[in-house]
Structure 1
Amino acid sequence: MGKIQEIRESETGKKIVKKGKSGIGRILFGRTGVILLLLLLQLGILFMVFSRLQQHVIYVYWLFALLSALTAILIINRPGNPAFKLAWMVPITIFPVFGMLLYLFVEFQAGERLLNRRLQDVEQQMRKYVLQDPDVFEELEQTDKRTSNLSRYVMEKGGFPTYKNYHTAYYPWGKDKFEALIEELNKAEKFIFMEYFIVAEGKMWNTVLEILKKKVQEGVEVRFMYDGTCSISLLPYNYPKKLEEYGIKCKIFNPIKPALSTVQNNRDHRKIVVIDGKTAFTGGVNLADEYIGELERFGTWKDTAIMIQGEAVRNFTLMFLEIWNVDEPQENYERYLDASHCYGMMEGDGYVIPYGDSPLDHENVGELVYLDILNSAKDYVHIMTPYLILDHEMITALTYAAKRGVDVKIIMPGIPDKAYAFALAKTYYPELLRAGVKIYQYKPGFVHAKSFTSDDCKGVVGTINLDYRSLYLHFECAVYLYQVPQITEVEADFQETLKDCREITMEDWRNEKFITKLTGRVLRLIAPLM
C-alpha cells in the first residue's frame, strides 16, 4: 500500500506534500477507513430499521411522526443557538422518523454528560486556587469600566482571573515560536506541561522530543497530552506507551472510537505549553513541520503564537491540569502553582487574561470575548482566521461594527486546507461586504492564525477560529491583551500580512463558480453540525 502523502523537495529545499491516489488507498484500508466504515455501518443499520418501520408498520410510523413533531417543538423551545436548532430541523423534516430518533440518540447520550460531570468535579477541586487579586481588578475598573466588566465575566463564568502584565512576546511566524519554545524548554528545571491538537513526526516534533527526553533525565517532570484525532493517521495508536518508555507521562484526550457518540465532536483544540509555572505558550502553532515552514502544504503557512511570563501563567497551568485530571484522582495542585518566581520581576504595562473555553459548560466564553471587542470598538477591528462559518450573533456584530464606521477587516486564506469549508465561508461574503466589512485572501497560501486587534489597546491571540467548531464544540484557549505593548506588534503583523493579500469584492462573489456557490449554500443548512 502506498504512502498517505508523496513528499518531494522544492527548489528552495523545502519538503512539499503532494496527495495522490495512494494516500486515498491508505485512508480507505487503514485505521481511518475502518473507523469510518464502522460509523457508517451503524448509521446504515439505524436508517434501515426505521425505514422498515415506515414501510411495514403504518401505525408505528405515524406514532413516530407525531413524536417527530413533538421533538421539533422541543428543539424550538429549548435554550441555545438558533442555528443549531435549524440544522436539526432539516433531517427531522426530510426524514421524520429517522431524524427524530437520531436527535434523541444524540441528545441523550451518557458520554458527554459523564465527561462534563468529571470536568465539573475537577473544577470544584481547583476553585480554591482561582483567585482574583482585588487590587488588580480595582485598578482595571478605574482605567476602563467596559474592560473590567469583561474581566468580571471571564472570572465568574470561566474561572480565569486578570493579571498585571509581566512579560509578553508575540511571534508572527511559526518558526519564531519554535525557536523561542526550544530556548525555554531547555531552561526547564521543575516541570513541563504540553497539550496539543496536532502532533506529527518530523523536524519540529523530533527536536522537541529530544529535549523532553533530556529533561526527564535531569529530573524534570514532563507531561504530554494530545488530541485523539492524531491517532487516526498521524501517530501510532500506542504512541503514549513509547513516550512512557522515555519517562514522559503521556495521555490521549478523547480517543477516536468506532462508535456513534457526540462526545467525539468535542476535540481538544488547545495548544498549551507551561514551563515551571512561569512561562507559557499558546496560539495556532501545532507540533508539525508545516507550521514552521519545513513542509510546504497549501502554499506559505502563516501562523502566530504568544508567550507570557509571570503570575498569569497560573491560568494555563490550571487549564492543563483540569483536562489532564478528568480521569484521575485528585492530586496536589499547589506544587505547580507557586508564584514565588514573580517576586522581583519587572512589571510591564497593561493587563492579560489567559482564558479557556469548554464546549460542555453552556457558556460561550470564546465567542463572547470576540463579540465584546466588536461591540466596543471605536476605530478598527482587524481579524485573522482560517475559517469563517458564522452564527447570527457574530454576523450581526461584524456588520453592525462596520455600519457604524468601524474599520472591520478580515484576512482569510488564499489557498484553503478544506475546500468545503472555504465554499461555506464564501456564502457569508455578500452580507459582510454589503455592510462594509472588508475581506482579504492571503495570496501566498494558508492563514492558520487566530487573532483580533482593536483600537491599539485590545487584542486576542489564541486557538479560537471564527467557526462553529471552535466557538461551540472544541476545548479552546487564548490570551486577552489590554493596553499591552505587544498589541502594536500584533497589529503591525496584520498590516504586513495585508500587503500580501487580495481584497475581495462583490464582483468577485458574482464571478464565483456556480458549483462553489451551490455547495456552500447547501452546506450552510448543516453548518453547525459539521
Structure 2
Amino acid sequence: MGYIKKMLRVIFGRTMFAVVSLVIQILVLAAAFRFLTFYLAYFYGAVTLLSALVIIYILNKEDNPSFKMSWMIPVTAVPVFGTFFYMLAELQIMERFMEKKLISRMDETESYLEQNLKVSEQLSRVSRRNANLAHYIKKYGHYPAYGNTNAQYFPSGEAMFEAMKREMAAAKRFIFLEFFIIERGEMWDCILELLEAKSREGVEVRIMYDGMGSFTLLPHNYIKVLQEKGLMAKIFSPIRPVLSSYQNNRDHRKILVVDGHTAFTGGINLADEYINRKVRFGHWKDTGIMLKGDAVTSFTMMFLQMWNISEKEPEKYDKYLRDPEYFYPLELNMEGFVIPYGDSPFDTEAVGKEIYLDIINNARQYVHIMTPYLILDYEMVKSLTFAAKRGVDVSIILPHIPDKKYAFLLAKSHYGELIRSGVKIWEYTPGFMHAKVFTSDDTKAAVGTINLDFRSLYLHFECGTYLYRNEVIREVERDYQETLSLCKRISIEDIPNDPWYERFAGRALRLFAPLM
C-alpha cells in the first residue's frame, strides 16, 4: 500500500506535471516542424539564411568562446532545431525583466557600499596588485574592500552549523537566510524551531530559497507553511513548466546574516547530508566562513538586492545596518582585508572566475583548490597549467565518490592535460568533496559558493569572500593539508585504467560542458 501511495505521489506530483508539460511543448514544436516539411524547399532555404545570420551574430557576440562553440555546433549541424532553440534562449522577456529589477536594486544600495578611502589607501600601500583587484571587484562586482572585520573559518558543515545556531539564537533585530537548498530533516527542523522562537521574540526573519534547488525536496505550498509560522519567506525564481532559458539562472548563494554584524557563507546548504546526518556519497566534506564587522554590510545588501527583485514596495535599507556600537567578540585579530563579492549571470563580467584567475596567475609558491566539479574552459586550463609549468605548486582536491556521474567523467577528461603539465590531482577518498576553496602563498584565500564549472562561473547567482593577509588564511591552508592526508593522488598511469567508454564519454561531453 505504501508503494502504491509513493507511485501516486510521483504520477500526480508537481515534478511529473512539469516533465509532462515540457514534453507536450516539445511534441508541439516537433509537429510544427513536420507540418512545415510540406513547404520544405522554401522553409529550408529561409532557415539556412537565418542560421547563417545567427552564426554571424554568435561569432561577434561578447561571450565565452566555449559557449559560442556549444551553440554553433547545433545551429550548423541541425539548422532548424538549433537556430530556433538559440533564438528561444536569447529572446527571454523574464530574464530581461529580472535583470532590470536587479540593476535597479543595486543602484538603490550603492550608497551603502561606498569604498572607504582609508581602507583602499592602506591596501595600496601593502599591495598595489591586490588594490587593483579590489578596484575591479568594486567597479564590476559592486562590493568594496573592508578592514575592521574578523573572520572565522569552518572546516566542516557540522562546525558551521553549531556557529550558525549560536549566532541566530543571539539575534536581536533580524535574521536573513538565502540558500540554494532547504530540505526537511534534523538540520532544517532545528533551524526552523529556532527561527520560530526568535520570531515570537519580535526578531524579523526572512527566508529565501531557490526554486530549482528545493523543487523536489519541499512541498509546493511550503512558503505558505513558513508564513503561517510568522516568518517572511519566498522562492527565488519558482520553476514553471515552460521552455525557457532564464530558469538556468539559479540562486546558488548560501548566505546567513544576523543583525547586520555577522554573516556566513560557504558551500553548506540547509540539508542533513551537509552535516553528515545523512549519508549520500560517503563522508561529505564542506567548508564555510563567518564574518563579523564592517564587511557584513555587503552580505546584508546582497541579500536585500535579491529579495527585492520581486518586491514592489521600497526597502528601508538603513534599518538593516549594524549597530555601530556592536562589539566583535572573536579572539582572532582584525588585521588584513576582506572583500565579499557577488556574481550575476546578467552582466558581461564573470567576477568569481576573474578572482580565481587572479589568484592562479599571481601565485608564487602554491595554489591549493578544493572543488566538487572540474568543468573548465580553455582560459582556466591554460592558467592552471602555466602556473604549474612555472614552478608553482598547483594542487586540486576533487571528490572520489561523485554526486553526478557525467560531471565526474567531464572532470576526468581534464586529468591528463593537467597532470602532464605538473598540476597535482587528488581525490577525497572518504566520499564527496563539496567545498569551494582557493588558498595561495599563505596570503590569499577565497571561500564561497562558486564551483569550477560553467554553471557557477557564468550562469548562476553566486557569492564568496576574498581574504588578503588575514590571520584566518592559515586556518584555510591547515584544513587543506589535513584534508590532503585523506586523499589519493591521481597519476598519469591511473587514467588508462578507466573503461574506454567512460573516457570517450568524458571527451564527448565537452561539447555540452557550458550547459553543465
| TM-score bucket of the superposed structures, by smaller chain | over 0.9
Question: CA offset at residue 247 of structure 1?
Answer: 0.9
Q: Give the structure 2 partner of residue 277 of structure 1.
A: 260
The verdict on how the C-alpha distance between 1:183 and 1:345 changes in structure 2, with shifts beyond 3 A counting, is closer
**Backbone CA RMSD of aligned residues:** 1.8
- Asked if 1:335 is matched to 2:319, the reply is yes
Indicate the residue corresponding to 2:431 in structure 1.
Answer: 445
Instruction: Determine the structure 1 residue equivalent to 2:337.
Output: 351
Q: 1:103 aligns with which of 86, 89, 110?
A: 86
Q: Structure 1 CA distance, aligned partners of 2:303 and 2:405?
A: 33
Measured after TM superposition, the shift of residue 263 of structure 1 is 1.1
Match of 1:381 in 2: 367
Show the counterpart of 2:469: 483
1:222 matched to 2:222: no
- Helix, strand or coil: the match of 2:308? helix
* Distance in 1 between residues matched to 2:7 and 2:408, nearest whole Å: 21
Structure 1 residues 169, 324: closer, same or farther in 2, change over 3 A?
A: same
Q: Is the 8 A contact 2:181 2:214 kept in 1?
A: no
Which residue number in structure 2 is paired with residue 13 of structure 1? none
1:127 aligns with 2:110: yes
Q: CA deviation at 1:498?
A: 0.6
The one-letter code sitting in structure 1 at the alignment partner of 2:58 is: I
Instruction: Quote how far apart the aligned CAs of 1:105 are.
Output: 1.3
In 2, are the aligned partners of 1:228 and 1:252 still within 8 Å (CA)? yes
Q: State the partner residue of 1:507.
A: 493
Give the match for residue 423 of structure 1. 409
Partner residue in 1 for 2:243: 260
Contact 1:311 1:342 in 2 (8 A): no
Residue identity (%): 53
Shift of the alpha carbon at 1:425?
1.0
Q: Tell me the secondary structure at the aligned position of residue 470 of structure 2.
A: coil
Q: Report the alpha carbon displacement of residue 392 of structure 1 after superposing the two structures with TM.
A: 1.3
Distance 1:372 1:25 in 2: 52
Deviation string, structure 1 residues 369-422 (Cα, Å, up to 9, x no partner): 000000100000000000000111111111111111100000000000000111
Q: What residue identity is the alignment partner of 1:78?
A: K
Out of 269, 290, 293, the residue aligned to residue 310 of structure 1 is 293
Please give the per-residue CA displacement for 1:46-81, whole angstroms capped at 9, x wherever unaligned. Answer: 233224424543112111112111211111111110
- Give the corresponding residue for 1:8: none
Structure 1 distance, partners of 2:401, 2:10, is 23
* Structure 1 residue 26, shift from structure 2 partner: 6.1
Cα 1:37–1:197, aligned 2, differ >3 Å: closer, same or farther? same
Q: How does 1:59-78 map to 2 (within 5 A)?
A: 59-78=42-61
CA distance in 2, matches of 1:458, 1:427: 29
Map residues 21-420 of structure 1 onto 2, 5 A cutoff. Answer: 30-54=13-37, 56-328=39-311, 329-342=313-326, 348-420=334-406
Partner AA of 1:513 in structure 2? P
Partners of 2:84 and 2:138 in 1: how far apart? 39
SS state at 1:163 partner: coil
> SS of the residue aligned with 2:233?
strand
| Residue of structure 2 in register with 1:10 after alignment | none
Task: Report the residue type matching 2:217 in the other structure.
Answer: L
Given the superposition, is the C-alpha separation of residues 27 and 351 from structure 1 closer, same or farther in structure 2, using an over 3 Å criterion? farther
Q: Contact conserved, 1:53 with 1:61, CA < 8 A, in 2?
A: no
Q: How many residues align?
A: 513
Residues 278 and 341 in structure 1, CA contact (< 8 A), matched pair in contact too = no
Distance 1:230 1:142 in 2: 43
Deviation at 1:465, TM superposition (A): 0.2
| Distance in 2 of aligned mates of 1:523 and 1:25 | 35
Deviation at 1:149, TM superposition (A): 0.3
Task: Say if 1:300 and 1:231 are closer, same or farther in 2 by CA, change over 3 A.
Answer: closer
The 1-side partners of 2:422 and 2:68 are apart by: 29
| Alignment deviations for residues 166-209 of structure 1 (CA, whole Å, 9 cap, x no partner) | 31111101000011111111100000000000101011000000
Q: Within 5 A, what are the aligned runs for 1:490-529? A: 490-529=476-515
Amino acid across the alignment from 1:350 = G
User: What is the TM-score with the length of structure 1 in the denominator?
Assistant: 0.94
Q: So what's the TM-score if we normalise by structure 2?
A: 0.96
- Within 2, Cα distance between the matches of 1:337 and 1:518? 53
Partner of 1:162, secondary structure, is coil
Contact 1:76 1:85 in 2 (8 A): yes
> What's the offset of the Cα at 1:345?
7.6
Structure 1 residue 262, shift from structure 2 partner: 1.1
